[in-house]
């Protein structure tokens, strides 16, 4: 809950500062403005990367996103929120990486999806099952699932980020949930049968 509150505060700060001309200064090559933009948004991109590609590749891909961001910043038209555009860059980078490394196993890091009253070993086991099940879901479905369930993005925002119609977001989210449940049952997750 505190994490969501902090993320929302950062989003508001980014929106305010972007509107105040931070992007314009970045476009002019102002290194301090670029550093400020990076510092304000890096944790959002990194957190998304950890969830989409795994901890071992998240830092490298986050850096890759910022290289692309600063080289393509002049393409940001302002028709959507800057944060939405940034998430789209990050999601595309993650999906491209996952397609290239299809056969490579990643270890994703999820928030604790289990009851805090359970013994630590049981929570660890369930977290591990969830990570394995998430790895089995198609990367595009996984990204939509993560944007909705973890990042708390609206269907409209997800549609803009992923570049699909809003109605398609709902159907793909349903498929992702169904696949996740199927994989969890196959793995023996208690309480889903």
Q: Are 142 and 62 contained in the same domain?
A: no
Q: Please compute the mean of the pLDDT values over residues 36-41 and round it to a whole number.
A: 91
**Same-domain pairing of 98 and 121:** no
Domain boundary among 57, 80, 109: 109
Contact between residue 137 and residue 180 where contact means Cβ atoms under 8 Å apart: yes
Statement to judge: residues 128 and 190 lie in one domain: yes
Question: For 32-41, 89-98, 125-134, 170-179, which range has the lowest pLDDT when averaged over its residues?
Answer: 125-134
Examine the domain organization and report whether 61 and 125 are in the same domain: no
pLDDT recorded at residue 49: 92
- Provide mean pLDDT across the span 176-183: 91
Q: What is the number of structural domains in the chain?
A: 2
* Residue at which a domain ends, from 73, 90, 109: 109
Average pLDDT, stretch 33-51? 91
Same domain (yes/no): 101, 118: no
In this predicted structure, which of 16-20, 78-82, 109-113 has the lowest mean pLDDT?
109-113
In this prediction, residue 191 carries a pLDDT of 58
What's the pLDDT at 106? Answer: 46
Same domain as 162, residue 83: no
Shared domain for 30 and 86, answered yes or no, is yes
Q: Write down the pTM of the prediction.
A: 0.70
Task: Give the mean pLDDT of 123-144.
Answer: 84
Interval 38-50 mean pLDDT: 92
pLDDT digits 0-9 by tens, 20-31: 688 889 889 999
Please say which residue of 64, 84, 109 terminates a domain: 109
User: With left for phi above 0 and alpha for psi between -120 and 50, is residue 69 left, alpha or beta?
Assistant: alpha
Range of the domain at 128: 112-193
CATH code assigned at 160: 1.10.10.10
Give the pLDDT confidence score for residue 185 in this predicted structure. 86
Backbone angles phi, psi at 110, to 5 degrees: -110, 155
Residue 165 — pLDDT band, cuts 50, 70, 90?
very high
Do 83 and 147 have their domain in common?
A: no
């Amino acid at each position: 809950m505190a994490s969501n509150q902090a993320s929302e505060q950062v989003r508001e700060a980014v929106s305010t500062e972007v509107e105040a001309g931070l992007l314009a200064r970045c476009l002019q090559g102002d290194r301090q403005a670029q550093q400020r933009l990076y510092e304000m948004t890096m944790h959002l991109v990194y957190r998304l990367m950890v969830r989409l590609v795994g901890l071992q590749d998240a830092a490298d891909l986050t850096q890759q996103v910022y290289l692309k961001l600063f080289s393509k910043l002049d393409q940001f038209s302002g028709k959507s929120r800057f944060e939405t555009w940034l998430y789209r860059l990050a999601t595309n980078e993650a999906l491209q990486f996952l397609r290239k490394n299809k056969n490579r196993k990643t270890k994703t890091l999820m928030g604790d999806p289990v009851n805090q009253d359970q013994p630590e070993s049981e929570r660890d086991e369930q977290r591990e099952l969830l990570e394995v099940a998430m790895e089995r879901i198609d990367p595009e479905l996984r990204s939509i699932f993560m944007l909705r369930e973890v990042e708390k993005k609206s269907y409209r925002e997800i549609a803009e980020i992923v570049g699909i119609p809003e109605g398609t977001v709902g159907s793909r989210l349903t498929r992702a949930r169904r696949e996740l449940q199927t994989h969890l049952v196959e793995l023996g997750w208690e309480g889903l049968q």
